[in-house]
Structure 1
Amino acid sequence: MTKAEAAKALERFADGYNTAYRESDPAALAGVETGPLQAMNQPGVRAQRVNRPDGFPGYPDLKLTDAAYTIPKQAGWPKFFLADADSNRDENRWLLLFTRGGADEPWKAAYLSILSEDEVPEFKTDKDGWAEPVAPGAGPDLAVKPGELSTAYTDYLRTGEGETFAEGQATSGQREIRKKLQRTPQFWTEYVDQPAKPPQYAPVALRTADGGALAFFAAHHAEKRTMAEGFRVGEIKDGTAKALVTGKPQTWLSLSRISESAVRIPAQGPVEFLNRLEGVTSAKGG
């Protein structure tokens, strides 16, 4: 794997991404995305196909420039590398984690995290410039093994217990929001969180220069909102859910989501969320 090959993979991703949204074409997106990122974005393109069956000719193309590539030294398959690029969407950096299952398969983006330039960590590299991967079950010198993140996170959302994660929008903030919506005069909400499991949702991690690791992982989330007597489900504000909902939401609405996150795992202490993205994957009502 060379940086020239990585650059071609990034260019191919941008082309497929733009085609998918310009032409409302889920197949184009499936050609350049996989795993959690595809699971999060695919429903949105399907929803766009419902709302814009003729496509979106005026879609503003995504442009990724000034890219840096972190390529770990790996034997066998699957392999991965990280692209860190400037996006024309905002002033942040787009970190795209690409994976490939075999020599006859294309590179596809499995994770996306959007970070400020200051949040992008420095990675550990050897004298030849190769980065160091951290296997899901490895990392005895880390506060948490990468392969344990999804289960630990969903357990925390369910119970609020433990000191694995630092407080923040993705952790204590999520629980605060849920507490406010759990029971109101108009409705009550039930939440179910489940870890996302390999091979489709395999976590990926790279050793950082400070001895910790940057890890990417996914999780599944579901919520069911049931209306109190005398109330009905109102307009569905999420565009993807509104386009894809099945049934007739009157007294209840159920949403399934997937989240994908980038976290900093220290040698000791709580895991810090750097970015968390979430998308609706299905919706049903009755």
Structure 2
Amino acid sequence: MTRHPGLGRLTAGLATATVLCVTATGCVTVHGELAVLPGAKKSEAAQALKDFTDAYNAADKAFDPALDADRVTGSLGAINQAGLKARRTYNPDGNKAHKPLVLDDATYVIPKKAGWPRWFLADTDSNRDQDGGKLDTRWLVVFVRTGPDAQWKAAYLGVLPASQVPEFVLDGDGLATPVKPQDDELAVAPADLSASYTGYLQNGSPDVFTPSTSTSGWRETRRTTRRAGFSYQYVDQPLTGSTFAPLGLRTEDGGALVFFNSKHFERQVAAKGLRPEVNPDVKALLTGEVNSTLTKERVSSQLVHVPPRAAGAGSGADTGSGGKVRMLNRLPGLIAAKGE
């Protein structure tokens, strides 16, 4: 049998390259597994924040959704695009009151994970608040990148008092720990938050949220809304697929800071001789003709603190929320309307 030493060395080299190679996705393949890597470099994160802010300001100044469509996604993208579309219809010459948004003093919280999508959190100071004191806020912007050839896009925005931004669990390299969608160490798994929230709004169960204007307060507002000649109906739906997936980071108290989405419909029916009011934003996004019925469709992103399951089971751990999920911020926006 003829031996080919060169061929043997070549196949050995190929085998080594197969075991340890940087794939097209940017993940290191080791024996067929994806290695855990930083979600982004800090220089990438800083550039993504700048690109988003520049695009947002251009779009807001012109009221032109096309100018930042490739820099937003998820619920933030849906709200941003619908809002710009609506305002452009009754401000065709642009935004005469435009004030450029500035997001600075940024801290980048970058999780380590395998595969795509990659994401990170930018903890920033905006020029939309008053620095110092109770009115000082932080804008938490989550950026997502779906693949090696994709752009970074802003998917979530949460606005918090500076004092409420938690301490995140960081490793020796300063990288954060993402929570899994089905994390069973938390009082409520991130994947279940949307269904839990919309279920609670619909029928009061499961009762896993602390009282707030966005939980028990919203249910009470709906219950007590009255207007002669009009009836109101509400439908709440989970929103979790694709670009609307929940994202969360482990916090030092054993819990997690989690962003998640939901969808909400409000149907207003007028008695004979009456007609629901249609404001300019609704009119711009309206399909059909409003005779006696108007249905508004909104999407909403929520930012919550989820305590560890042990606290929910009565371990005595101090999360400040009695073992329940605490609503920190909610960002809703009208995306469509239908008349009948």
Query: Structure 2 length normalisation: TM-score?
Result: 0.80
Does residue 272 of structure 1 match 2:317?
Answer: no
Residue of structure 1 in register with 2:114 after alignment: 75
Residue of structure 2 in register with 1:176 after alignment: 220
Unaligned runs of 5+ in 1: none
Does residue 255 of structure 1 match 2:296?
Answer: yes
Q: Which of 25, 50, 67 in structure 2 is aligned with 1:11?
A: 50
Q: How does 1:54-73 map to 2 (within 5 A)?
A: 54-56=93-95, 58-73=97-112
**Shift, 1:245, TM fit:** 1.8
Which structure has the bigger radius of gyration?
2
Q: Which of 55, 61, 76 in structure 2 is aligned with 1:22?
A: 61
**Shift, 1:67, TM fit:** 0.6
* Whole-angstrom distance in 2 between the partners of 1:232 and 1:105: 46
Does residue 123 of structure 1 match 2:123?
Answer: no
Q: Which of 220, 244, 247 in structure 2 is aligned with 1:201?
A: 244
Residue of structure 1 in register with 2:83 after alignment: 44
> Size of the alignment, in residue pairs?
282
Q: Which has the higher contact order (CA 8 A, sep 6+)?
A: 1
* Whole-angstrom distance in 1 between the partners of 2:213 and 2:104: 29
C-alpha contact (below 8 Å) 1:224/1:252 kept by paired residues? yes
Q: 1:184–1:59: structure 2 CA closer, same or farther, 3 Å change rule? A: closer
Q: Which of 71, 87, 96 in structure 2 is aligned with 1:32?
A: 71
**Shift, 1:229, TM fit:** 2.9
Does residue 189 of structure 1 match 2:232?
Answer: yes
C-alpha contact (below 8 Å) 1:73/1:131 kept by paired residues? yes
SS of the residue aligned with 1:255? strand
Identity between Structure 1 and Structure 2 (%) = 48
Does residue 157 of structure 1 match 2:233?
Answer: no
Query: Structure 1 length normalisation: TM-score?
Result: 0.95
* Whole-angstrom distance in 2 between the partners of 1:78 and 1:155: 28
* Whole-angstrom distance in 1 between the partners of 2:114 and 2:253: 25
C-alpha contact (below 8 Å) 1:258/1:278 kept by paired residues? yes
2:189 partner amino acid: K
SS of the residue aligned with 1:205? strand
**Shift, 1:58, TM fit:** 4.5
1:265 partner amino acid: V
C-alpha contact (below 8 Å) 2:191/2:240 kept by paired residues? no
